[in-house]
Amino acid sequence: MRVSFNQPAFIPWGGFYARLLNSDLMILLDETQFARGFTFVNRNRLKGPQGEIWVTVPVKKKGLGFQKINQLRIHQPEKWSENFLSMLRHYYGRSLYFGETYEKLTENFREASENFPKLALSIIHLIGDNLGIKTPVGLQSETGINLKGAKLLIDLAKQTGAKEVLLPYLADRHLDLDEFVRAGLKVSFLRYNQLPYPQFWGDFIANLSALDLFLCCGPDGIKVINKSSRVVQK
* pLDDT at res. 36: 83
pTM for this model (two decimals) = 0.96
> How many structural domains does the chain have?
1
Amino acid at 1: M
**CA pseudo-torsion sign 137, 139, 142, 146:** positive
Q: Using alpha carbons only, how large is the chain's radius of gyration in Å?
A: 18
The pLDDT tens digits of the residues spanning 123-176 come to 999 999 999 999 999 999 999 999 999 999 999 999 999 999 999 998 988 899
Q: Please provide the average confidence, as pLDDT, over all residues in the chain.
A: 96
Where does the pLDDT of residue 233 fall: very low under 50, low under 70, confident under 90, or very high at 90 and above?
confident
Rounded Cα distance, 192 and 228, in Å: 6
pLDDT above 80 (res 234): no
Strands (E), 15-82: 25-28, 43-48, 51-56
pLDDT above 80 (res 91): yes
Amino acid at 149: G
CA neighbor of 155 nearest in space, from 31, 43, 50, 58? 31
The pLDDT tens digits of the residues spanning 167-197 come to 999 898 889 999 999 999 999 999 999 999 9
Rounded Cα distance, 6 and 14, in Å: 13
The pLDDT tens digits of the residues spanning 52-73 come to 999 999 999 988 889 999 999 9
* pLDDT at res. 172: 86
Domain hosting residue 203, numbered range: 2-232
Residues in CB range of 192: below 8 A, 6 or more apart: 14, 15, 18, 19, 169, 228, 229, 230
